[in-house]
């Protein structure tokens, strides 16, 4: 199955001490350094837990942190 960067959607994710791991609809998991996202690094567990997928999985939004991540941008390394 081939998915373009612009068509990639997330189904969920996991944050550990070092990385953000995004689970994709096509079965892939992408991992990026948590250091790329200072708001997430400095956030409390409660703030990190207050998230939702936006745009039918095209992004992730953390309400308390006012942080939005684009899945396409993550795949492009931005």
Q: What is the CATH number of domain 5-75?
A: 3.30.2020.40
pLDDT of 8 reads 86
What is the residue extent of each domain of the chain?
Answer: 5-75
Are the CB atoms for 11 and 21 separated by under 8 Å?
A: no
In angstroms, the CA 73 to CA 15 distance is 18
In angstroms, the CA 58 to CA 53 distance is 7
Exposure b/e, 8-35, CB count within 10 A at least 16 = b: bbbeebebeeeebebebbeeeebebebe
Q: What is the pLDDT along the chain (78 residues), one digit of tens a residue?
A: 445 675 789 999 999 989 999 999 999 999 999 999 999 999 999 999 999 999 999 999 999 999 999 999 998 887
């Amino acid at each position: 199955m081939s998915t373009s960067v612009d068509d990639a959607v997330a189904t969920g994710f996991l944050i550990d001490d070092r990385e953000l791991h995004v689970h994709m609809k096509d079965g892939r998991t992408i991992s990026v350094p948590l250091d790329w996202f200072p708001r997430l690094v400095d956030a409390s567990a409660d703030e990190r837990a207050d998230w939702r997928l936006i745009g039918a999985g095209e992004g992730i939004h953390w309400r308390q942190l006012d942080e939005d991540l684009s899945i396409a941008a993550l795949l492009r390394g931005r």
